[in-house]
């Protein structure tokens, strides 16, 4: 079990603009090619801690996407393409190669964007219920993010302990591994000026705006350029009984596996979209099965 502590640092992306974005990166020193972990919308890099602890002496990078964790914030509009472009720039800035990447939800979408743009840099990819919509899905209707139920989420907390106590008895958080929930709370809050309170690092209004800007874009047309081995873990499918803002059912297009050369898929109906939070042990085992 890996016991080393990560170092974290900011990587300023080279996009030619004076106000370029800096992404916060956590790096666990280790041996072998890099393992790159990319989180879902509304989360942060440290939700991977329990997975990483089971991977032994691996050289791991986990990134806070923009507007998440300790990375820089930017004003809307957002798009999955924007986050994908950021990951491409980060990989080039760090000069990573022979990458094994694992992406969850939006993070899976972002990993696929990077792998289709930089196919020579990726070796293996594990996708945890990636947010990839059906080809005929319309782009989200642009409305005021403030009117989304997501924007109404509580944003101020006295402490990470208070947040953990409230969430631990509420679905879907009650289904999570307790240590992952603890890490989500501990690293997902930032001090609010001098008030003594804390706010979510990815504020609810920002998360709502990200969801409203989600969409495949040109990704499906670019998947054929991927040369890495790809494995998809797809979870229980949505039914007519699921509420619109119940994020537990799968967000993955069932035909995705057929669009990526040589990709394979495991269907896990006993798990929800929050698979790395529910079962970090399974995710660690899946990563360990990938050749180094």
N residues, the chain: 292
Task: Look at residue 19 in the predicted model and tell me its pLDDT.
Answer: 58
Task: Look at residue 1 in the predicted model and tell me its pLDDT.
Answer: 44
Q: Are 64 and 23 in contact (CB under 8 A)?
A: yes
Total tally of structural domains belonging to the chain: 1
Question: In this structure, how many other beta carbons lie within 10 angstroms of the beta carbon of residue 30?
Answer: 16
> Domain for residue 186, yes or no?
no
Task: Look at residue 2 in the predicted model and tell me its pLDDT.
Answer: 46
Q: In tens digits, what is the pLDDT along the chain, a chain of 292 residues? A: 445 789 999 999 976 555 589 999 999 999 999 999 999 999 999 999 999 999 999 999 999 999 999 999 998 888 899 999 999 999 999 999 999 999 999 999 999 999 999 999 999 999 999 999 999 887 666 678 888 889 999 999 999 999 999 999 999 999 999 999 999 999 999 998 778 899 999 999 999 999 887 788 889 999 999 999 999 999 999 888 877 777 899 989 999 999 999 999 999 999 999 999 999 999 999 999 998 8
Q: Are 156 and 198 in contact (CB under 8 A)?
A: yes
> Domain for residue 181, yes or no?
no
What is the bridge-based pairing of β-strands 189-191 and 198-200?
antiparallel
Task: Look at residue 196 in the predicted model and tell me its pLDDT.
Answer: 87
What CATH number did the domain enclosing 227 receive? 3.40.50.1820
Q: Are 216 and 137 in contact (CB under 8 A)?
A: yes
Question: In this structure, how many other beta carbons lie within 10 angstroms of the beta carbon of residue 68?
Answer: 26
> Domain for residue 194, yes or no?
no
> Domain for residue 83, yes or no?
yes
How far apart, in whole angstroms, are the C-alpha atoms of residue 217 and residue 81?
Answer: 7
How far apart, in whole angstroms, are the C-alpha atoms of residue 165 and residue 213?
Answer: 32
Nearest to 46 by CA among 59, 27, 62, 28: 62
> Domain for residue 191, yes or no?
no
Domain extent at residue 80? 7-138+213-288
3-state secondary structure of 34: strand
> Domain for residue 2, yes or no?
no
> Domain for residue 192, yes or no?
no
How far apart, in whole angstroms, are the C-alpha atoms of residue 272 and residue 174?
Answer: 13
Task: Look at residue 190 in the predicted model and tell me its pLDDT.
Answer: 96
Token digits of residue 270:
């006993």
How far apart, in whole angstroms, are the C-alpha atoms of residue 79 and residue 10?
Answer: 22
Positive or negative, the CA dihedral 284, 9, 81, 211 is positive
What is the bridge-based pairing of β-strands 31-38 and 99-104?
parallel
How far apart, in whole angstroms, are the C-alpha atoms of residue 112 and residue 103?
Answer: 9
Token digits of residue 59:
């050289």
Positive or negative, the CA dihedral 103, 287, 88, 199 is positive
Task: Look at residue 16 in the predicted model and tell me its pLDDT.
Answer: 52
> Domain for residue 132, yes or no?
yes
């Amino acid at each position: 079990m890996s016991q080393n502590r990560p170092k974290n640092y900011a990587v300023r992306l080279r996009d030619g603009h004076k106000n370029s974005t800096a992404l916060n990166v956590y790096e666990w020193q280790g041996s072998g090619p890099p393992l790159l972990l990319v989180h879902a919308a509304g989360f942060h890099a440290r939700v991977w801690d329990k997975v990483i602890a089971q991977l032994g002496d691996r050289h791991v990078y986990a990134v806070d996407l923009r507007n998440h964790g300790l990375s820089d914030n930017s004003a809307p509009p957002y798009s999955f393409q924007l986050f994908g472009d950021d990951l491409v720039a980060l990989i080039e800035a760090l000069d990573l190669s022979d990458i094994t990447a694992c992406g969850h939800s939006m993070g899976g979408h972002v990993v696929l964007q990077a792998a289709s743009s930089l196919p020579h840099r990726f070796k293996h990819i594990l996708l945890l219920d990636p947010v990839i919509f059906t080809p005929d899905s319309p782009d989200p209707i642009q409305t005021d993010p403030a009117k989304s139920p997501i924007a109404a989420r509580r944003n101020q907390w006295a402490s990470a302990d208070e947040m953990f106590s409230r969430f631990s008895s509420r679905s879907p958080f009650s289904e999570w591994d307790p240590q992952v929930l603890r890490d989500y709370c501990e690293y997902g809050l930032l001090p609010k000026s001098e008030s003594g309170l804390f706010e979510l690092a990815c504020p609810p209004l920002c998360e709502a705006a990200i969801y409203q800007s989600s969409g495949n874009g040109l990704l499906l047309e670019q998947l054929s350029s991927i040369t890495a081995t790809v494995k998809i873990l797809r979870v229980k499918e949505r039914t007519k009984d699921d509420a619109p803002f119940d994020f537990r059912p799968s967000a993955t297009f069932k035909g995705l596996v057929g669009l990526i050369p040589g990709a394979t898929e495991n269907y896990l109906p006993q798990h929800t979209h929050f698979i790395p939070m529910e079962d970090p042990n399974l995710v660690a085992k899946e990563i360990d099965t990938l050749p180094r």
